[in-house]
Structure 1
Amino acid sequence: MVLNVPGLISVIIFYIVILVIGLWAARRTKGETNSENVMLAGRNIGALVGIFTMTATWVGGGFINGTAETVYSYGLVNCQAPLGYALSLVIGGIFFARKMRENGYVTMLDPFTRAYGERMGGLIYIPALLGEVFWSGAILAALGSTLRVIIGLSHEVAIIVSACIAVFYTLFGGLYSVAYTDVVQLACIFIGLWLCIPFALTSEFVENISVNSSTEWIKEVDPIYVGVYMDSFLLLIFGGLPWQVYFQRVLSTRTAGIAQTLSFAGGLGCLIMSIPSILIGAIAVNADWSRTAYVTRDNFNVSDIPNRASDILPLVLQYLTPEWVSFFGLGAVSAAVMSSADSSILSASCMFARNIYKMIFRQKASEKEIIWVMRIAIFGVGALATIMAITVKSIYTLWYLCSDLVYVVLFPQLLCVTYLRTSNTYGSLVGYIIGMFFRIAGGEPSLGIDVLIKFPYYSTENGQMFPFKTLCMLMSFTSLVFVSYLTDFLFKKNILHPRFDIFKCVVNKDYPDVELKKYNANPQEVFANPGFTQSSGEIAAKQ
């Protein structure tokens, strides 16, 4: 395909503008030596900027491209992600935003490391990291397909350049750069997509989308897939909660009230911003592609369109709108990608620097050292996401898998650490292992993972038809609760000797090993000793 020079120039100009804004915002962190201020913008994000950055973070390239792809391929009824993620933000605002903000956490992993210990927090980081990498990969892949279709730029080059730009300004400005670029990017998404809709709707190649809409692009759920449908919907709602990219915005707000407000507004924003993509999917269904330049000028085979569903949004922009309009749409997609990619990369890097590097490996690390580790991690996460975007084909598959392990493994952990006071490391570890094992055993064709356990209604042709992901999540949750209550009861009733509390999370959590040995592993005697006092959760010798 011939390179479209005017389109390439427009993309370069857009990238320069975003880069300048990101570096301008980075001035607020110049000379900053407090890692918490870099990660959370000094907890000074107000309602307006907070709403913009929350909405822009969720409305990424995977969101707008994936929505159009699904409406075109499977119908509006089967496009669950916009509503699912909107409900997720609302539920997060009701049940988690205020609690997390009032406790003054810095990352989503903080409550886990406090309740379950640093090493358990490190294990919980694994699915959190995978989720962020999948998310960023979906976003970058969306931009790659768009630039390939509209301006003829190589898929790989588009992804790599976009990732480098996002990494560059995030590297210097932290959340300040991310938040302020999000304001501009969300405006670009809204204006760019809505500008394209009237031209695409009135194209001579497009029939009225309201005619036979229920059968053409709204469709219905096949009864065979009801179990899978419900499983996916619950996954999107509750799997959309335990994300650092969400809680980073919640924790950066000035007050807990603002944290709730931006959660609710972000949910509404997701629904509003999905409308243009839904219409583009409907337009693609009702287009006569054999009459467009896709066939008459570029000599593509019209029968290939269904196989290019992940490209359907850029195809509509390219062949059903004037060239100058498609450039605005291209700007919208680019903005969507940048607004989410930078957020996701920063989120994973912050968790690594604070909850892995500092808490597990270098407890005495200085604030400056933590900031540099975070910057190095930004490069690493950006590289992983870039590789994922280049190697995985379907945008919607990546977008959908983002919440998978997060739903099965992290959601039960978040629920228990927030609301179950007796949850402990033993329950957390067992719940983690059970959830991870049974989810992987269920198989994942898109990642080449074979089925080990065939749940009820399994079909060789269609795979797992039972809502097994929700079952895995419930198994993880119930095992976490049961084991936590059981160990709490056994240790506190002295049925199990305190020396068996190897994770120091029930009766030994406030007492050093040396003192337990000195008093024959009896915490009550340690506590009664006048030579010791409890400070910051530990027993320190009085001088």
Structure 2
Amino acid sequence: MKLGLGGLAYQALYQRILSAASATRAQISCLIASVVVFVMGLPSVIIGVMAAAADWNQTAYGLPPPFERGDEGKILPLALQNLAPTWVSVVGIASLAAAVMSSMDSALLSSASVFTQNIYKTTLRKMASERELQWVIRVSVLLLGVAGTGLAFGDDSVLAFWLLSGDFIYCMVFPQLICVLFFRYANTYGAYCGYVLGLGLRLMSGEPLLSIPPVILYPGWRVENGDIIQYFPFRTVAMLISLAAVIAVSTLVHLGFRCRLIPQSWDILKAFEEKTESQLEEMLNSLKKTFTHIYFI
């Protein structure tokens, strides 16, 4: 279950889907990815099974095994170092380091690009030149790198933020992606309602990493080391309720405006305002420029 949902919780999926040439290609990409993710996850499952069945007492690591020491999060480098030949260990750890560095520099560039295009240029400096934007991106990368380095000094801080970001994206953003691709009546009003509802349910479910106590206790909860741990799939519940809210609110608002049951003057978010051809072309060019910055800077 975790393997199947893992790809839904990180921005790489959303970047690639939103940069697709058409809505049809985006839909096909989602369906193909749902199959490929299981195939690509098989090596990880095999490594985990081998590590669980290995006799660690015959290795330099010794007993107790990693799972009893709380090192299950480091099982891949531990397995490469202790259960594989030296040359496999060297190649494997080098490949792992290269993959991590590649992901991190992509995250830095994406964050800096999004800040520059969506915040600095759109809000702070609408008339900024291309050269100015280049310097803003460079400074943003530097500041984000320093911030990330500071977080790395904590034992579990980076992992905690990584997991939390996945949680929140899965509960709040994933339902909206589904509606954008497969629900033609999705609109801004439904998106806002689903986002707020997903966020509220996720926060009320509690988060030990942020010392947030749960307000909603689902079946099967336990107290472990002074913290309430919920074993019920509350993240999926929050995601499904958020998805239902987007669909329900979007449908009701759409019918209200299209059937003239709600005055057009109440459309404060301009979701049902008729767009001219030039406005649509400008929006499309803006989206293309944003994704060009994200992937090719």
Structure 1 and Structure 2 fold alike (TM over 0.5): yes
Counterpart Cα distance in 2 of 1:258 and 1:473: 21
Relative distance call for 1:266 and 1:375 in structure 2 (3 A) is farther
Pick from 91, 98, 101 the counterpart of residue 338 of structure 1: 101
Between the two proteins, what is the percent identity of the paired residues? 36
Counterpart Cα distance in 1 of 2:146 and 2:100: 15
Match of 1:484 in 2: 250
Counterpart Cα distance in 2 of 1:482 and 1:260: 25
Q: What CA deviation, in whole Å up to 9, does each residue of 1:482-537 have, x standing for no partner?
A: 22233333344444443332222224x65xxxxxxxxxxxxxxxxxxxxxx87426
Match of 1:501 in 2: 267
8 Å Cα contact 2:194/2:243 also seen in 1: yes
Relative distance call for 1:258 and 1:449 in structure 2 (3 A) is closer
Match of 1:347 in 2: 110
Q: What CA deviation, in whole Å up to 9, does each residue of 1:149-177 have, x standing for no partner?
A: xxxxxxxxxxxxxxxxxxxxxxxxxxxxx
Matches within 5 A, 1:68-107: 80-81=2-3, 84=4
8 Å Cα contact 2:47/2:76 also seen in 1: yes
Counterpart Cα distance in 1 of 2:30 and 2:264: 45
8 Å Cα contact 2:203/2:212 also seen in 1: yes
Counterpart Cα distance in 2 of 1:318 and 1:381: 32
8 Å Cα contact 1:358/1:364 also seen in 2: yes
Q: Which has the higher contact order (CA 8 A, sep 6+)?
A: 1
Displacement after TM superposition at 1:408 (Å): 1.0
Counterpart Cα distance in 1 of 2:34 and 2:232: 32
Counterpart Cα distance in 2 of 1:428 and 1:266: 24
Relative distance call for 1:367 and 1:252 in structure 2 (3 A) is farther
Question: Which segments of 5 or more consecutive residues in structure 1 lack a partner in the other structure?
Answer: 1-77, 85-234, 296-301, 511-532, 539-543
Q: What CA deviation, in whole Å up to 9, does each residue of 1:110-159 have, x standing for no partner?
A: xxxxxxxxxxxxxxxxxxxxxxxxxxxxxxxxxxxxxxxxxxxxxxxxxx
Query: Is 1:368–2:111 an aligned residue pair?
Result: no
8 Å Cα contact 1:284/1:316 also seen in 2: yes
Counterpart Cα distance in 1 of 2:29 and 2:244: 32
Paired amino acid for 1:236 = G
- SS of the equivalent of 1:432 reads helix
Match of 1:455 in 2: 218
Pick from 234, 241, 245 the counterpart of residue 468 of structure 1: 234
Pick from 279, 284, 288 the counterpart of residue 536 of structure 1: 279
Question: Which segments of 5 or more consecutive residues in structure 2 lack a partner in the other structure?
Answer: 282-297
Displacement after TM superposition at 1:245 (Å): 6.0
Counterpart Cα distance in 2 of 1:365 and 1:457: 54
Relative distance call for 1:288 and 1:259 in structure 2 (3 A) is same
Match of 1:417 in 2: 180
- With normalisation by structure 1, the TM-score equals 0.43
Paired amino acid for 2:75 = I
Match of 1:431 in 2: 194
Displacement after TM superposition at 1:261 (Å): 7.6
8 Å Cα contact 2:204/2:215 also seen in 1: yes
Displacement after TM superposition at 1:265 (Å): 8.2
- With normalisation by structure 2, the TM-score equals 0.72
Counterpart Cα distance in 2 of 1:430 and 1:409: 10
Match of 1:148 in 2: none
Q: Pairwise CA RMSD of aligned residues? A: 3.9
Query: Is 1:271–2:39 an aligned residue pair?
Result: yes
Displacement after TM superposition at 1:432 (Å): 1.1
8 Å Cα contact 2:17/2:26 also seen in 1: no
8 Å Cα contact 1:248/1:347 also seen in 2: no
Match of 1:224 in 2: none
Larger-gyration structure (1/2) = 1
